[in-house]
Structure 1
């Protein structure tokens, strides 16, 4: 097993830098609303010494208000794809009436190192605001990170939220 200072990309050298730039939607300095105007999320993503993927959802900034001007009630939902099941789903608490919520919630997925290249972490921001319990809560944006391209020298980063793909079940 490699040390914590070794980039995971060195452990799995099949990834190229062009693949990394297309998968990671990092924010450029000064663009707090993200490239899509949907806000951005700060995450720590690292592979731990006990063969586990560790994700810390720190905060979100500059989420847009709802169409009627109301503040959203956001939470973050994680899936470790391609496994979109209840076992793979993790969720933060809902923060009421906030476009800049702070979470600092930690989640773990047990995963052998040889499976990292086959996994994608999907991070979705959901608005839980005032909907009937039978309706699906709308996704405000999402980020997908290829776990095989994680770089342990840059564990905590901001990621721009992109328009959400509606390919999952609630």
Structure 2
């Protein structure tokens, strides 16, 4: 009798477990099927999309993704095919999306900007084109890299135009070719993210093109309210990503184009080689150092971080900072900040004090590690710096430490670029 009860209990328990697993599998299949159908409906539109935005990035409705990009109205109107030089440019209006028939895309490699002629007034009705004589060297130095890409990650085809009457920059994202495969199927699901640097808050995206290494977007973006002088201080950033439904989107490659180098009156068209993104972009950390010889107190303040590398599938991280006081290779004392959930730009405002005698201040160092907290598994390193007087992790870190020593009792504040492991 006792044995029968045990067998019956085991059978009932097995039935409950099997039923629970069946329900979970059914719910997962239903949700996956619904999401796939929605994505297929989105990507079934193969005609061109026109996106219009203002300089301040204002808009009313929400975009395709859950990320905080510029928004697009849903009403659609049909226009003529892009690329026809006889077709007048439609007058921009606030943040609307427009469908257009895809044009035939030429196979030309590149259409470079026209050379500058000093004193020339391009298109006589627009004397403001004199900006061509004034190149922004700092912007060029900051973003332009004339070296050859370290690996072939494809090319992107786009064109630029400027509407002088309405002070509107017109960008057309046309096609890309020879993109690398990021999915197990041997293809990718590419889309382009558009930014006018240094403004990183307002970004636009093309549609996702499914299962292709040679996508044709044929989408147009209008940036309204940009006088020609302001465009000198803008850098066009095109970043191609591979869309992933269940994980963080993979970066394919990017292009930086300082607009001060472009003669917009010539309506230039470009084929640009994509450059693979730097794998060591971990973000930056703002710290301050202060040393008081009278009481032998070394003070480190962790103020904030910016543009941290995302470690979670939601495109964010859960950062905190771990600090070790070291003498040579020996770790002496450890401190930690609180954890900041779902952010890439945490504000720590944490101060740590260490007792370091004056005669040992040049021998010690601070190993500062920005970590990503995980509930399951090990916490991951986002990036680190070593603040030291001799062998810091870089010239910036060494100089910061030396400034602290030469200026006792003063607080020295400095940004540092985080290094990977």
Q: 1:36: Cα distance to partner?
A: 3.3
Q: 1:112: Cα distance to partner?
A: 1.6
3-state SS of the aligned residue for 1:164? coil
Aligned mates of 1:10, 1:141 — CA distance in 2: 33
Alignment map for 1:13-92 (pairs within 5 Å): 13-15=133-135, 23=144, 36-49=151-164, 50-66=166-182, 68=184, 70-85=186-201, 88-92=202-206
Structure 2: gaps (5+ residues): 1-120, 284-306, 316-421
Q: 1:109: Cα distance to partner?
A: 1.0
Aligned mates of 1:11, 1:103 — CA distance in 2: 31
Q: 1:163: Cα distance to partner?
A: 1.4
More relative contact order, 1 or 2 (CA 8 Å, 6+ apart) = 1
Q: 1:157: Cα distance to partner?
A: 1.2
* Greater percentage in helix: 2
Kept after mapping to 2: 8 A contact 1:43/1:157: yes
Kept after mapping to 1: 8 A contact 2:241/2:251: yes
Aligned mates of 1:60, 1:24 — CA distance in 2: 20
1:136 maps to what in 2?
248
1:30 maps to what in 2?
none
Q: 1:159: Cα distance to partner?
A: 0.6
1:102 maps to what in 2?
216
Aligned mates of 1:136, 1:67 — CA distance in 2: 13
Q: 1:89: Cα distance to partner?
A: 0.9
Kept after mapping to 2: 8 A contact 1:24/1:145: no
Kept after mapping to 2: 8 A contact 1:42/1:60: yes
Report the structure number with the largest CA radius of gyration: 2
1:158 maps to what in 2?
271
2:353 maps to what in 1?
none
Aligned mates of 1:95, 1:75 — CA distance in 2: 6
Note closer, same or farther for the CA distance 1:16–1:114 as it changes in structure 2 (3 Å cut): closer
Kept after mapping to 1: 8 A contact 2:131/2:232: no
| Alignment root-mean-square deviation, CA | 3.3
3-state SS of the aligned residue for 1:148? helix
Aligned mates of 2:239, 2:194 — CA distance in 1: 6
3-state SS of the aligned residue for 1:118? coil
Using the size of structure 2 for normalisation, the TM-score is 0.33
- Count matched residues: 155
3-state SS of the aligned residue for 2:133? coil
2:240 maps to what in 1?
125
Q: 1:66: Cα distance to partner?
A: 2.3
